[in-house]
Amino acid sequence: MTAPCGAQRVRCSNTLMPNVLHLLQLGRVSYAEGLRVMDEVVSARKAGAIGDTLLLLEHPPVLTLGRNASRENILASDEMLAHKGVEVHEINRGGDVTYHGPGQLVGYPIFDLRGDLPGKRGPHLGPVDFVRLMEEALILTCKDFGVPAQRICKLTGVWTYAGGSIPEKKIAAIGVHVSRAITSHGFALNVTTDLRDFQWIVPCGIADKPVTSLELESPLESPPTLAQAANKVAANFGRVFQRQVLAVETLQELLTLRRAETEIYTEQ
């Protein structure tokens, strides 16, 4: 695997590396497998065995219900979802119901909010402030593809601008969970997503604003690919969180990286 633009490939360094954001790209994995990897990374981050990490991945079609979700916002019948092979998962992130599927870039930022983070004024960065930073990284990513994007007051996520009779459209959803100051879950950015699949739900419980994708909104001659979007997201997370982005190829490499760095440092 080639490291994304702006990310360096990691080999054991001879010093410990503060202010680093590790990047692990998983490709397309089942939702259950994605959660398994995320939980393993979260446990390692809580133990101080690894530094802050950004997981980027893609899921087969799946619906997820956050802590505040209403089952009524799933419009499709259980029979239809089963026929299409669409799983439904109830999870502990914030937010309502959302959809994940092919062509959508999903990101799980695993951060320690007690760390050296932009805007931190107390012992830890607040979860809302963390979400605002995530939104900023995604807004910058949309801009990289020629898509003006914004926040909307009291509506989490990233939105396009309204024009004429066209309302704002949601291009990225966000829902996080925080436990012992460690974040999990994250965002879903529509890149080349088949937006017809959102007809199965009321996205995030918001009925009066449609969803869109980078593919539909970008004025560029060639539509962005998922790989290009991943490169930009990784670079913009590094920019917004003021971190050096270092790519690892496997979960095992990530989990052994800090130990290798520590052993090398101790031997100096």
Q: What sign for the dihedral angle of Cα 27, 32, 37, 41?
A: positive
Q: How far is CA 142 from CA 29, 90, 160, in A?
A: 24, 29, 9
Ramachandran area for residue 55 (φ above 0: left; ψ -120 to 50: alpha; else beta): beta
Torsion of CA 25, 26, 30, 31, to 10 degrees: -40
Please enumerate in sequence order all residues whose Cβ is within 8 A of that of 145, keeping only pairs 6 or more positions apart, or say none: 214, 217, 218, 220, 224, 229, 232
204 classed as catalytic? yes
**Distance of alpha carbon 105 from alpha carbon 107, whole angstroms:** 7
Please enumerate in sequence order all residues whose Cβ is within 8 A of that of 211, keeping only pairs 6 or more positions apart, or say none: 169, 170, 171, 190, 195, 198, 203
**Distance of alpha carbon 65 from alpha carbon 97, whole angstroms:** 4
Q: Which two tokens stand for residue 53?
A: 């990490």
Question: Could you say which of 5, 12, 142, 204 is catalytic?
Answer: 204
* 27 CB neighbour count, 10 Å cutoff: 9
**Would you call 120 helix, strand, or coil by DSSP?**
coil
Element (H, E) at 226: helix 226-241
**Distance of alpha carbon 135 from alpha carbon 170, whole angstroms:** 12
Catalytic positions, written as ranges: 204
